[in-house]
């Protein structure tokens, strides 16, 4: 298989690239990684793969239709996996327009380039071609405490500019199948965590702040509930959907681990106190600080992933306890990676200014 991955230098994308180049399953002839290298795209995530002859990195924009067309044809691409997106909710609240440009316009141009390429393929390769779009549970809106988890049949009710932009892109993917016949697949995942996550996200932010003795800012009362999915479980599910999923279907991918933001922060504090003791002083949970809530903050997300379990036999391997322990261990072992990102991306910002968010 020749695979085009967009946004492969980001958090989930880089974990997917690593897993595919190291993993089992259908062998890869070529994996092309197209990434614009915005603030969350970090080529250091994949620097050690530079000598792998199967790996090709291209710096560029999914909205550059000419570039995408050249990559598709030049590498005889068999499948596209689209991770490329602006994904930070707080940033979307501050400035929605980049989210529309990348997540809506960019996805549209990527779809159009893929459609034009696919239409010219021989019939056998047309039937085998796939376009997989990676999306989020935030398109479904929010849940009350007693509501059933989001299923693929839930209607879209996005509540942030980020979620609205992803909902729009999901609709475009569906439309390109129904209008043009492009063989598409969509996955909607819950909150990811694990290695290589950008340090403004909740879990790495809390780890790094706690190690430096900085406040651990938690939005509102901290009782917002999220379903936490270990990133390697997510990447394995994406690969399974790409290989075996039914065309024009959506598959929800969840970790089956609902936790409040406050519970997550407290669990991180306990793990850090165990793995990186701070000299016998009081526990790091003393650093927890409640701050003004995010505007329009969704109260609860939860994913019903019965469909992917039933049809494809997938289930997450990591519990929240095992996944979180692995995550803390990884960050403790890769503090240089964290410092490099902080120096390059936050030269004029303080790392601890953002509150514990849930995206």
Enzyme catalytic residues: 137-138, 162
User: Considering only CA atoms, which of 34, 33, 32, 41 is closest in space to residue 60?
Assistant: 34
* Distances 35 to 16, 43, 173, 194, 342 between C-alpha atoms, Å: 14, 9, 20, 20, 20
- Whether residue 137 contacts residue 303, with contact meaning beta carbons closer than 8 Å, is answered with yes
Sequence-separated (6 or more) residues with CB below 8 Å from residue 118: 126, 129, 131, 182, 183
294 secondary structure, DSSP code: P
Residue 300 · residue 225 · CB < 8 Å: yes
Q: What is the Cα–Cα distance from 264 to 334, expressed in whole angstroms?
A: 21
CA atoms within 13 A on the CB side of 119: 12
Alpha-carbon torsion 296, 103, 342, 335, what sign?
Answer: positive
């Amino acid at each position: 298989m020749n695979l085009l991955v967009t946004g492969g230098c980001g958090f989930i994308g880089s974990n997917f690239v690593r897993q595919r180049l190291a993993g089992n399953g259908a062998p890869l002839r070529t994996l092309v990684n197209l990434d614009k290298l915005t603030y969350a795209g970090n080529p250091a995530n994949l620097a050690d793969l530079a000598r792998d002859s199967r790996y090709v990195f291209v710096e560029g924009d999914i909205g550059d239709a000419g570039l995408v067309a050249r990559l598709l044809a030049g590498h005889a691409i068999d499948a596209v996996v689209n991770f490329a997106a602006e994904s930070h909710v707080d940033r979307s609240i501050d400035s929605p327009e980049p989210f529309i440009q990348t997540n809506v316009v960019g996805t549209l141009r990527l779809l159009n380039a893929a459609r034009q390429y696919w239409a010219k393929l021989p019939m056998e390769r047309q039937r085998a071609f796939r376009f997989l779009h990676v999306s989020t549970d935030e398109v479904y809106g929010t849940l009350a405490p007693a509501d059933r988890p989001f299923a693929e049949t839930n209607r879209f009710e996005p509540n942030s500019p980020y979620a609205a932009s992803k909902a729009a892109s999901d609709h475009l993917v569906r439309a390109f199948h129904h209008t043009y016949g492009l063989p598409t697949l969509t996955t909607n995942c819950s909150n990811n965590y694990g290695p290589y996550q950008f340090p403004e996200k909740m879990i790495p932010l809390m780890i790094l702040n706690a190690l430096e003795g900085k406040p651990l800012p938690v939005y509102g009362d901290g009782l917002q509930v999220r379903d936490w999915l270990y990133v390697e479980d997510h990447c394995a599910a994406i690969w399974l959907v790409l290989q075996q999923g039914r065309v024009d279907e959506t598959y929800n991918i969840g970790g089956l681990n609902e936790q409040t933001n406050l519970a997550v922060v407290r669990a991180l504090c306990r793990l850090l106190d165990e793995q990186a003791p701070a000299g016998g002083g009081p526990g790091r949970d003393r650093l927890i600080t409640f701050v003004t809530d995010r505007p329009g903050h969704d109260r609860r997300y939860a994913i019903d992933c019965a469909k992917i379990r039933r049809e494809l036999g997938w289930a997450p391997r990591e519990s929240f306890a095992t996944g979180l322990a692995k995550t803390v261990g990884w960050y403790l072992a890769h503090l240089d990676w964290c410092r490099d990102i902080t120096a390059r991306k936050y030269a004029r910002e303080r790392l601890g200014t953002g509150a514990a968010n849930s995206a």
